[in-house]
């Protein structure tokens, strides 16, 4: 079973999204030592596909720091990932609720972050 240290994770400066899941069927974002649904102590850490659907969005006009001011306005999206968890990330300003998206990774104020764009139609 992977501890996740061998998986690409944007929180460590790598182009990837990591999530956890449990045998009870729960899936969640941000690591925990236990399942938030059933309490089991053996969650599996998994690489996400980066695909999902926009659940909500907010266009931010005021950056929280001087370093981020040049990026404003920027869109923050809540994305329902294909794997069953929800995450917050940056997104293309043209995104709308319900659109299918795919993550890529961009520099945002000196930090590599997930950035969602419209998914290419197959």
Residue 29 shares a structural domain with residue 84: no
Residue 68 shares a structural domain with residue 107: yes
For residue 37 the two structure tokens come to 């649904």
Residue with tokens 């999902």: 52
Given a cut of 70, whether residue 1 has pLDDT beyond it is no
Residue 57 shares a structural domain with residue 37: no
Residue 60 shares a structural domain with residue 18: no
Percent of the chain with pLDDT strictly greater than 70: 97
* Domain span at 65: 51-118
pLDDT tens digit sequence for 30-73: 999 999 999 999 999 999 999 999 999 999 999 999 999 999 99
- Could you give the number of structural domains in the chain? 2
At 5 the pLDDT is 78
Given a cut of 60, whether residue 2 has pLDDT beyond it is no
Count CB-CB contacts under 10 A for residue 34: 13
Residue 28 shares a structural domain with residue 73: no
73 upstream amide cis, omega within 30 of 0? yes
């Amino acid at each position: 079973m992977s501890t996740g240290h061998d998986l690409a994770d944007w929180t460590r400066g790598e182009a990837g999204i990591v999530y956890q899941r449990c045998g009870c069927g729960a899936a969640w974002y941000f690591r925990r030592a236990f399942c938030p649904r059933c309490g089991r102590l053996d969650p599996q850490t998994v690489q996400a596909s980066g695909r999902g659907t926009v659940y909500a969005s907010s266009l931010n006009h005021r950056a929280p720091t001087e370093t981020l001011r040049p990026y404003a306005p920027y869109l923050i999206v809540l994305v329902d990932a294909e794997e069953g968890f929800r995450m917050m990330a940056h997104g293309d300003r043209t995104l709308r609720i319900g659109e299918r998206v795919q993550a890529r990774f961009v520099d945002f104020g000196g930090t590599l972050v997930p950035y969602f764009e419209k998914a290419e139609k197959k």
